[in-house]
Structure 1
Amino acid sequence: MFMSGQEVGCAAELHPTTKGDDGSIIVQGIPYHYGRADPTVISWIGITCNNDRRLTAVNLPHMGLTGTIPKEVGNLTSLVFLNISNNSLQGHLPAEVGLLHQLQYMNLQFNELSGEIPSSLSRCWELRQLSLNGNKFNGSILGTIGNLSKLEELYLGENDLQGRIPHEMSNLIGLTILSIPYNKLEGPIPVGILNISSLQMVTLRNNSLSGALPTDMRITKDSL
C-alpha cells in the first residue's frame, strides 16, 4: 500500500478507495477540474467536500496506510480537518502543509514520520489541535510555533525532539493542553507557558528539563 500524489490540471486530491491486488487500499492522486473535485469524490469513505466540491476533510485513521505524505497535500487549500493517525506512514512531513491556511485539526499521531517538524507549519494559522505524537520527529521545537495563536491542544510526545522548549510558546494564550513527554528536551521550562490562563493540562515527563519551577505558577508540580 502506498500514498502518492500527482498534479493534474489545477491540483490533485486524495482517493482512498482504489484496491490493490491484495485487497489493500491505495491512496492515489485524483485530478480537479478547474479547481474542483470530481462529483464522485463526495461519496468516498473518509472524504468530505463542501458544496463547491472542494475537499474539506480527510479522515482515514487506522487504515493501514504506508508510504509517504505527498507534497501535493499543499493543494488541498480548503482542508479544515486532517486525520491520518494510527497508520504506518514514513518520511518527512512536507513543507507544503504550510499552504493549508484553513486547517483547524491535524492528527498524524502514531505513524513513523521522521525528520524535523517543518517551520512552514506555523503558517497554518487556524489550527486548534496539532497531534504529532508517537512518531520519529527530531530536531528542535521552533519558536515559530508561537505564531499558532488559535492553538488549543498540542501533542508532541514520544518523538526524538531535542533542545529547549521555546519561550514563544507563551504566545499560545488559548492553549488548554500541552503534551511533550518522552523526548530529549533540556533546559528550563519557560515561565510564561506555565502561567497561560487557559492551560488545564501539561505533560513534560521523561525529558531532561532542569531549573527551578516558579512558586506562583497556575499548574501544580504534580501535573508535570
Structure 2
Amino acid sequence: MKNLLCYLTLLVFSLQSLSAGIPNKEMTALVELHHATHGTHWTTPWNMTTDVSTWHGVKVVNGHVVEINLFRNNLEGTIPKSISNLKNLISLNLAFNSLTGELPVTIVELSRLKVLKLEMNRIKGVLPEGLGNLTNLEELSAFNNFLTGSIPESIGEMSKLKILNLSSNAFKGSIPKSLGSLTELEVLGLFENTIEGVIPSEIGNLGKLKELVLANNQIGGEVPLEVAQLSNLRIFQIQNNKFESFNNLRYVNEDQFLVLDFDKGDSNKGFKDIGLSRSRMADTKFEEGVPDDDN
C-alpha cells in the first residue's frame, strides 16, 4: 500500500504540467480511478502524457472535471473512495463494464451530480443511506448489478430525479413511501428484485410518470386506486408478483397504455395483450454512451 501511495504521488506531480489547470485533488482522483479499474487494460485507455482535457471520456470546464464517460470501456476493479474529490462532477457514466466491490459511501458527496449511470456491472452491497444528499441528481441507473438491502428512504429527497432504474438486482424490503415526493419522476424501474409489501398509495403523486415497471418481485396486496391518477403512464408492468386484487385497474384508462402487463389470469379485465421483453426493460433500453441532453 505504501509503495502504491508513493507511485500515485509521484505520478500526480509528474502530470501537473499536463493537468489543464485542474486542482491536485481532482488529478489524484482521476489517477486513482485509472489505477483502481485497471486502466492499462481499458478499451480506450488514458494517455497520461497528454493534457487531461484530451483523455477519453473526460470533460474539463473552467479548470474542473465536470464529466467522466467511460461507458463500455472494459473497466474492472472497484470505484475508489477518492471519487468524491471530483466536487464539480455533473455526469458520471461507468455503465456496461465489469466493476465489482461496493459503491463507495463517499459518492454521496458529489452534490452537483446530475447523472449517475452504473448499470450492467457487478457492483454489490447496499445503496448508501445518504444517497438523498444528491439533490441535483436527475438520473440514477444501476440495473443489472448485485445490489442488496432495501432502497433507502432518503431517495425521496432527490426531488429533481427523472429516471430511477434499479431493476435486476437483489433489493428487498418494501417500496419507500418517500418515492411519492419525486414529482419530476418519469421512469421508475424496480423489475426483478425481491421487493415485498405493497405499492404505496403515494405513487399517485407522480403525475409525470411514463414508465412504471415492478414485474418479477414479491409485491402483494391490491393495486392502489391512485394508479388511475397517472394520466401520463404509458408502460405499466406488474406481472409475476403476489397481488391479491387487480380490481382497481378497472378505473384506469386502457387507451393511454402502450404496454400494460399484469397477471391477467387473476382478473376478468380484458386489456390489450401487448408484450414487452425482459431484455428491453431491464437491459437494452438504456444502452447508450451519452446521457440525453434533457437529463
Give the TM-score normalised by structure 1.
Answer: 0.85
Q: Report the alpha carbon displacement of residue 214 of structure 1 after superposing the two structures with TM.
A: 2.5
In the alignment, the residues of structure 2 paired with residue 223 and residue 19 of structure 1 have an alpha-carbon distance, to the nearest angstrom, of 43
Q: Report the alpha carbon displacement of residue 191 of structure 1 after superposing the two structures with TM.
A: 1.2
Q: Report the alpha carbon displacement of residue 39 of structure 1 after superposing the two structures with TM.
A: 8.3
In the alignment, the residues of structure 2 paired with residue 106 and residue 25 of structure 1 have an alpha-carbon distance, to the nearest angstrom, of 21
In the alignment, the residues of structure 1 paired with residue 39 and residue 127 of structure 2 have an alpha-carbon distance, to the nearest angstrom, of 32
Gaps of 5+ in 1: 31-37
Q: Report the alpha carbon displacement of residue 194 of structure 1 after superposing the two structures with TM.
A: 3.7
- Aligned 8 A contact 2:87 2:109 in 1: yes
How large is the Cα RMSD of the aligned pairs?
2.8
1:47 aligns with 2:58: yes
Aligned to 2:29: 13
- Aligned 8 A contact 2:45 2:56 in 1: no
What SS does the corresponding residue of 1:209 show, helix, strand or coil? coil
Choose between structure 1 and 2: higher helix proportion. Answer: 2
In the alignment, the residues of structure 1 paired with residue 56 and residue 46 of structure 2 have an alpha-carbon distance, to the nearest angstrom, of 12
1:158 aligns with 2:168: yes
The letter of the residue matching 2:30 is L
What SS does the corresponding residue of 1:184 show, helix, strand or coil? coil
Gaps of 5+ in 2: 13-23, 237-248, 250-259, 263-295
Q: Report the alpha carbon displacement of residue 23 of structure 1 after superposing the two structures with TM.
A: 7.7
In the alignment, the residues of structure 2 paired with residue 117 and residue 183 of structure 1 have an alpha-carbon distance, to the nearest angstrom, of 14
Aligned to 1:35: none
After superposition, what is the alpha-carbon deviation per residue over 1:28-83, rounded to whole angstroms, capped at 9, x for unaligned?
9x9xxxxxxx98111111100102x2100000011111000000000000000110
Greater RCO between the two (CA within 8 Å, min separation 6)? 1
- Aligned 8 A contact 1:158 1:180 in 2: yes
Change (3 A) 1:186 1:138: same
In the alignment, the residues of structure 1 paired with residue 162 and residue 138 of structure 2 have an alpha-carbon distance, to the nearest angstrom, of 5
In the alignment, the residues of structure 2 paired with residue 107 and residue 64 of structure 1 have an alpha-carbon distance, to the nearest angstrom, of 15
Q: Which 4+ stretches in 1 moved above 3 angstroms?
A: 4-11, 15-20, 22-28
Larger Rg: 2
After superposition, what is the alpha-carbon deviation per residue over 1:172-208, rounded to whole angstroms, capped at 9, x for unaligned?
0110100000000001001111441111110000000
1:173 aligns with 2:189: no
In the alignment, the residues of structure 2 paired with residue 133 and residue 44 of structure 1 have an alpha-carbon distance, to the nearest angstrom, of 27
In the alignment, the residues of structure 1 paired with residue 225 and residue 42 of structure 2 have an alpha-carbon distance, to the nearest angstrom, of 58
Aligned to 2:272: none
Aligned to 2:193: 183
After superposition, what is the alpha-carbon deviation per residue over 1:119-150, rounded to whole angstroms, capped at 9, x for unaligned?
12211110000001110000000111001011
Change (3 A) 1:67 1:126: same
In the alignment, the residues of structure 1 paired with residue 128 and residue 178 of structure 2 have an alpha-carbon distance, to the nearest angstrom, of 16
Number of residue equivalences = 211
After superposition, what is the alpha-carbon deviation per residue over 1:95-114, rounded to whole angstroms, capped at 9, x for unaligned?
10111000000000000000
Give the TM-score normalised by structure 2.
Answer: 0.65
The letter of the residue matching 1:43 is T
Aligned to 2:279: none
Change (3 A) 1:23 1:86: closer
- Aligned 8 A contact 1:96 1:120 in 2: no
Change (3 A) 1:39 1:89: same
Q: Report the alpha carbon displacement of residue 19 of structure 1 after superposing the two structures with TM.
A: 6.5
